[in-house]
Structure 1
Amino acid sequence: MHFKIALEEGFALPSSLAQNSPIGFTPANASPEEHLSTNLLDIHGHRLRQMDENGVELMILSLNSAGCQGLSDQTAAETLSSSANDYLEDQVMKNPKRFAAFAALSMHDPKQAADELTRCMTKKKGFVGALLNDFQSSGPNGNTMLFYDHPRYDVFWQAAADLRAPVYIHPRTPTPLINEQMWKDRPWLNLSVLGFANRVNMHLLAIITAGVLDRFPDLKLVIGHMGEHIPFEMYRLDHKLDRARFPNMKMRKDKLIRDYFGEQVFITTSGHFSTPALVCSISEIGSKSCMFSIDYPFESIPNACVWYDEIQLNQHDLVDIGRNNCLRLFPKLMQEPHNLSIKSAWDCGIGGLRNGETTYGLFNKSFNHRLMKQ
């Protein structure tokens, strides 16, 4: 598919890469172009060449995890936020046809976060929303976790809703205490294997069940990695949130978790390139809830795109998930300075009779011999 849009794509500030150490895996015999730190720092070189080679028209860039959320010192987190956003605006505006930006925000002070988001969305160019790396670390030892379902964050959610700025909730590392108690003896299960999803899905569900989306109906939230296990758990979530057992739960009494998807909550395919998982997600929450993403440079651009381009999915869902759903969620992408547009399946190279014949079928031109790769 041509003209794909990807929206969970990381970059790093040269000045803060050491303190915001990326977590990832680089093969022992990797070339310099495959090293994680190299690719986080690069925007207009190797990254853009891979986008061209794999039919990705635009990436929405965000500061690598844990970003501002990993800094328990409020002043340091707020300083990183403003400097990252200033740097990212400069980088995006070098090529706004190919890149857009998510604001990095410190969440120590909800009003300050709202003000910084407002600055990015109204006074700066290239920003279409924000990305938060899960909970905010706080306290003298970094073990205090600030979660955004607390009512004091309503001032932030109000600003995001008013600005029509979707908020992407992205994973991060656990606190030192949680790491010691849960993951130290089983580190292979932490991070992207299991820990990331388990922490983000709890946080998103906490926000929903706290009634945040009901109080702010214009607010939009996004999570990655095929929904951080939530689509698969949808029946059990809705079944077990019994209003008789939880009369104090603030979520609307006449709604199920699934009702928010496609209207206020959306998922991406970032780092989870499984066709059965995508089919499950479409079945549970609908194709308009789903968007293509890669999770570069923690994941491979060619691997993600070969998977997506070869899915046997109807062409209308394919082009919506790969592009158009993102444009509907982020309408600023269709304005200056990006000027993207909704495209048809035909525009994106999907469907139609392009190879001149259907005599022996749509997939293999020979009746007797397999011509396509095995």
Structure 2
Amino acid sequence: MSTRKLLVDVHTHVYLPRYASFLRARAVAPKIFSRPVPGEPGAREDRLVILDNEPSGGRPIGPQYWDRPEKLAFMDKHGIDVSVVSSANPWLDFLSAPEANTLAKELNDDLEGFCSSSPELDSAPSGSGPSIKRLYGLGLLPLVPEASPSDVLKTITQISSLPHLKGVIMGTQGLGRGLDDEELEPVWGEIERNGLVVFLHPHYGVPSSMWGERDNGHVLPLALGFPFETTIAITRMILAGVLDKFPSLKIMLAHSGGALPALSSRLASCIDHDPVVASRLKHNARYYLGQLYFDAVAYGSEELGFGKLRALGSSRMLFGTDHPFFPPLKGTDKWRSVTENLAAINGVAGWGDKEREAVCGGNALRIFNLA
């Protein structure tokens, strides 16, 4: 068995065919619709609209969003050995509880098939044990307002029974009241007990009234709104004591944790000066930063090398690409979400080969129990 190091992508998405068909049947966002291609008589294109009033009428969508050969071709092109695939937002938030419960179970089974039918690696790290597949997945939970917690727990049991699903992807709404909702405590406990990873990913951003009247396309919502949504959601979990009650819970934050690393000391000071919150927590706020995992989708070594993240060590960072979003710009066939994020990992001052290899793949093998 080869001893070469692996490149593992932990932030990579799909809209599985069943879900894409579901979105095609919808008349309001989120939806997939067909429209004429400007300047090309008779030609049509499919567009994905995730949120109301998206700029440019959404984004073009094609097989790269749901086709396994397309995903594997992208991986091969960029030297990615293994991908931990998750459904892209908005997940099931907009459905009724019965719809979400049914669709979650169906999509989890679909994702297991998507991954289990992928090829095995030709080579894997020495001593890695069983063969490693090219694809693994993160399942969906029927987390919607009015959902029955018992149905959510049953879905966790389903995900745990599917050998190629290693965790769950989750938005910030929970059962409609956020992730600090006490009703979620049995959910956190069951996820922890089963050793699943929670990938916390934003969808709603911050209120659109914050962005002003100037047309800035999607820049402000994606560049700032998404990371701040994550920052607020995980901070509410910390303040509620979730990480004290479930210390073995494995939570990975999208987009390198948003603003949390930069604001963790300010957060700690505010907590210390608020006796109501300070008496609720067992540790300083900086401690909880060290309980979390962060994808390395930051696009710059300065961000990855930021003091608070660097202080955590390389063991908490994992490579990701955000595929199939942000496709190549004109003049290149390589995805900058790959090349720039790899360059960022390689450019962090003080990291040697051992640290970079951990971020690129070793950490993922460990926390997702792939080897």
Instruction: Provide the C-alpha distance between the structure 2 equivalents of 1:23 and 1:298, rounded to a whole number of angstroms.
Output: 13
Q: 2:286 is matched with which residue?
A: 258
Do the aligned residues in 1 keep the contact of 2:136 with 2:165 (CA within 8 Å)?
Answer: yes
1:100 aligned onto 2:136 = yes
Query: Structure 2, unaligned stretches of length 5 or more?
Result: 32-47, 51-55, 121-132, 328-333
1:57 aligned onto 2:81 = yes
Cα 1:261/1:326, change in 2 over 3 Å: farther
Q: 1:275 is matched with which residue?
A: 301
Instruction: Provide the C-alpha distance between the structure 1 equivalents of 2:354 and 2:64, rounded to a whole number of angstroms.
Output: 33
Q: Which amino acid aligns with 2:69?
A: H
Q: 1:231 is matched with which residue?
A: 261
Instruction: Provide the C-alpha distance between the structure 2 equivalents of 1:170 and 1:309, rounded to a whole number of angstroms.
Output: 21
Q: 2:38 is matched with which residue?
A: none
CA shift, 1:23, in A, is 5.4
Query: Structure 1, unaligned stretches of length 5 or more?
Result: 29-33, 139-144, 335-374
Q: Percent identity?
A: 21
Instruction: Provide the C-alpha distance between the structure 2 equivalents of 1:268 and 1:322, rounded to a whole number of angstroms.
Output: 10
Do the aligned residues in 1 keep the contact of 2:171 with 2:201 (CA within 8 Å)?
Answer: yes
CA shift, 1:229, in A, is 1.6
Q: 2:11 is matched with which residue?
A: 8
**1:50 aligns to what SS in structure 2?**
helix
Give the alignment of 1:1-374 within 5 angstroms.
Answer: 3-17=6-20, 18=23, 19=26, 20-21=30-31, 22=48, 35-45=60-70, 47-69=71-93, 71-95=94-118, 97-108=133-144, 109=147, 110-122=149-161, 124-136=162-174, 145-173=176-204, 178-179=207-208, 181-182=209-210, 185=213, 188=216, 190-242=220-272, 244-248=273-277, 251-253=280-282, 255-262=283-290, 264-270=291-297, 272-280=298-306, 282-300=309-327, 302-310=335-343, 311-312=346-347, 313-331=351-369, 333-334=370-371
Q: Which amino acid aligns with 1:256?
A: N
Deviations 1:197-229 (A, max 9, x none): 111110111111111111112211111112112
How large is the Cα RMSD of the aligned pairs? Answer: 2.8
Instruction: Provide the C-alpha distance between the structure 2 equivalents of 1:72 and 1:115, rounded to a whole number of angstroms.
Output: 18
CA shift, 1:307, in A, is 2.9
Deviations 1:271-320 (A, max 9, x none): x2111001115324322221111111113573233234442342111011
Deviations 1:224-276 (A, max 9, x none): 1121121122221222212x4232457524x12221234x3111022x21110
- TM-score normalized by structure 2? 0.76
Instruction: Provide the C-alpha distance between the structure 2 equivalents of 1:290 and 1:257, rounded to a whole number of angstroms.
Output: 19
Cα 1:290/1:247, change in 2 over 3 Å: same
Instruction: Provide the C-alpha distance between the structure 2 equivalents of 1:314 and 1:304, rounded to a whole number of angstroms.
Output: 22
Deviations 1:39-78 (A, max 9, x none): 2122223x21221122211111111101112x14212222
Do the aligned residues in 2 keep the contact of 1:210 with 1:250 (CA within 8 Å)?
Answer: no
**2:155 aligns to what SS in structure 1?**
helix
Do the aligned residues in 1 keep the contact of 2:172 with 2:230 (CA within 8 Å)?
Answer: yes
**1:233 aligns to what SS in structure 2?**
helix
Q: 1:370 is matched with which residue?
A: none
Cα 1:250/1:88, change in 2 over 3 Å: farther
Deviations 1:99-130 (A, max 9, x none): 001011111333321210111112x2211010
- TM-score normalized by structure 1? 0.75
